[in-house]
Structure 1
């Protein structure tokens, strides 16, 4: 039986790390407030996308019991060499998605803004996106109401 080697996993991680990475957030459905649905592995987009935020940081990391990165599946530390793990951090601004309810998150790889937008624009409305990219991670979550006094931050580790 063939296996995917560590070197192969590192190559996959390097290929993803080189692409634009955004976190899409969406409204989902109000019915989710009583029971969150499972995340189908066949999903290609969010149910109701509200916007896309470009990653603040995309770095290689490795498992470490004392690491500064803490996610539900463990702790990691940032390293300066390629590994099969990519750390992605997203810091939304106070005005992003203001007065919206967020129930779903999607880590998108290869998202591209429309060419006429100013360079360096970090938050995109759905109509400002030329290519949504590929939905790599999907999370349905308890509702977050976007309030002007709160700046949302999300962290993920993608492991290959």
Structure 2
């Protein structure tokens, strides 16, 4: 059986890090409030996308026991000057992005197509401004949370390859 090598994983990480990466958030379904369902592995979109933000920062990282980047499972990473098979992606949302909306799902999308004629420099896009969502890399369903417009939301993911 063929085994994907680290250099191949690094090549994949480099190719993805060079693409537009978006974090989309969605309403999901109110029925999920009783019990959040598991994430499928075959999803191509969010159930009810609200909007998405273009990536704010991207860097390569490597596992490090005392690293400054910590995941929910307590795995830690530190920045790497050299490409690696892990990409740390961060999205910093503006205060008004989806203010007052109920968020139940998050998705990292690679690429996609937006409406033509949008303002130069626009970084947050409503679902109506997305023509083709791109490739859904990761999907997370979570407990419902009301998006507070007085808080600047930051989301981070370490994407493994």
User: TM (normalized to structure 1)?
Assistant: 0.96
Q: Is 1:29 aligned with 2:57?
A: no
Task: Indicate conservation of the 8 Å contact 1:20/1:112, yes or no.
Answer: no
Partner residue, 1:55: 55
Aligned-pair distance for 1:31? 1.1
Across the two proteins, how many residue pairs are aligned to each other? 160
CA deviations 1:103-136 (Å, max 9, x no partner) are 0000001133223112221100112123311000
CA deviations 1:127-151 (Å, max 9, x no partner) are 2123311000000001110122122
Q: Is 1:39 aligned with 2:42?
A: no
Distance (whole Å) between structure 2 residues aligned to residue 47 and residue 62 of structure 1:
33
User: TM (normalized to structure 2)?
Assistant: 0.95
Distance (whole Å) between structure 1 residues aligned to residue 121 and residue 71 of structure 2:
28
CA deviations 1:15-65 (Å, max 9, x no partner) are 100100000000001111110000000000000000001111111111111
Distance (whole Å) between structure 2 residues aligned to residue 111 and residue 50 of structure 1:
16
Q: Is 1:109 aligned with 2:110?
A: yes
Distance (whole Å) between structure 2 residues aligned to residue 131 and residue 17 of structure 1:
19
Residues 78-157 of structure 1 mapped to structure 2, 5 A cutoff: 78-157=79-158
Task: Indicate conservation of the 8 Å contact 1:61/1:77, yes or no.
Answer: yes
Q: CA RMSD in A?
A: 1.0
For 1:104, what is the secondary structure of its paired residue? strand
Extract unaligned runs of 5+ from structure 2.
Answer: none
Runs of 4+ residues deviating >3 angstroms: none
Partner residue, 2:66: 66
Task: Indicate conservation of the 8 Å contact 1:71/1:155, yes or no.
Answer: no
Extract unaligned runs of 5+ from structure 1.
Answer: none
Distance (whole Å) between structure 1 residues aligned to residue 44 and residue 67 of structure 2:
32
